[in-house]
Amino acid sequence: MTAAATAANAPATKTAAPKDAATRGLVEITKVRKSFGTTEVLKGVSLTVEPGGVAVIVGPSGSGKSTLLRTINHLEKVDGGFISIDGKLVGYEVRGERLLELREKEILKQRTGIGMVFQNFNLFPHLTALENVAEAPVVALGRSKEDARRRGLELLDRVGLKDRAGAYPRQLSGGQQQRVAIARALALDPKILLFDEPTSALDPELVNEVLDVIRELATSGTTLIIVTHEMGFARDVADTVVFMDEGQIVEQGSPEHIFTNPQEPRTRSFLSKVLEPAFNI
Ligand SMILES: Nc1ncnc2c1ncn2[C@@H]1O[C@H](COP(=O)(O)OP(=O)(O)OP(=O)(O)O)[C@@H](O)[C@H]1O
Ligand SMILES: [Mg+2]
């Protein structure tokens, strides 16, 4: 079954997304379930991220963090529950008692409001940094090439790479490529940015240059949802830290709460492993 749960509790899709900046980027995830074959990897996940909020998701490998992130822009369909952004359902519309999946064109349109940055950058190798950043606004938003180029240069400047605009991905370090990928995600003026382990493919000395860019974004009013293993960064940047294990949110709260006073044994056990690794030399 690909349709989500019944429409009974879902918001009406006909409501236009509010224009009010104060509600731009409200993410509401409600009882989302997802299985691959017979394995249920999301077991009823509910999470609200306020407009401009920064939620950081942490948890062991295989706990469902990437899958959850991918349901937010409908790269994964959900098997139950629903997700809405600014009150509008993601990927589905209400038809009577059921949720029907939107057509591909409408899904792609929705996705332009949700930027995603992946672990492996995913830049187009045959395009320069600037071309990587300037392409989608022309194709997806119908902007003029000139506008997209000008804005692309501004965004490369914002991530500290204006002078590398003409470089191809192979001529850039991993950290630089990831900063181009962030500029590319920003080029569609998304209200939400999703990051899936944006620094885990980087050499340690390149991690900070990427985290610094994300830190700056965290104060920009864009809603950020970040999966990371960088606990110090999570503590710094998050309003809400979400600990996931085995397809469920075990505990969530302020960084202070999660890192210094976790209530759940599973959270404590996870943090004791990642915050105080044993060195046996
Ligand atoms: N396309 C898929 N087909 C089948 N199983 C999948 C698929 N994607 C993910 N899974 C499984 O779903 C579970 C959750 O995976 P997910 O990638 O969401 O975990 P994660 O928390 O992001 O882990 P990591 O920290 O290693 O990235 C895992 O058991 C994984 O093997
Ligand atoms: Mg993952």
Distance CA(128)–CA(67), nearest Å, equals 30
As given in the structure block, the two tokens for residue 235 are 């503590």
Pocket test for ligand 1, best of 35, 36, 274 (most atoms within 8 A of CB): 36
Nearest ligand 1 atom to the CA of 68 is: 18
- Is 62 near ligand 1, meaning CB less than 6 Å away? yes
- Is 64 near ligand 1, meaning CB less than 6 Å away? yes
> What pLDDT, on the 0 to 100 scale, is given for residue 276?
65
Distance CA(4)–CA(1), nearest Å, equals 8
The residue-averaged pLDDT of 65-79 equals 96
Q: How far is the CA of 151 from the centre of ligand 1 (A)?
A: 36
Confidence of residue 23 (pLDDT cuts 50, 70, 90): low
The residue-averaged pLDDT of 38-57 equals 97
The residue-averaged pLDDT of 20-46 equals 90
Distance CA(71)–CA(77), nearest Å, equals 6
Q: Find the ligand nearest to 64 CA.
A: 1
Nearest 10 degrees: Cα torsion 92, 9, 7, 27: 10
Confidence of residue 9 (pLDDT cuts 50, 70, 90): low
The residue-averaged pLDDT of 261-273 equals 95
> What pLDDT, on the 0 to 100 scale, is given for residue 99?
86
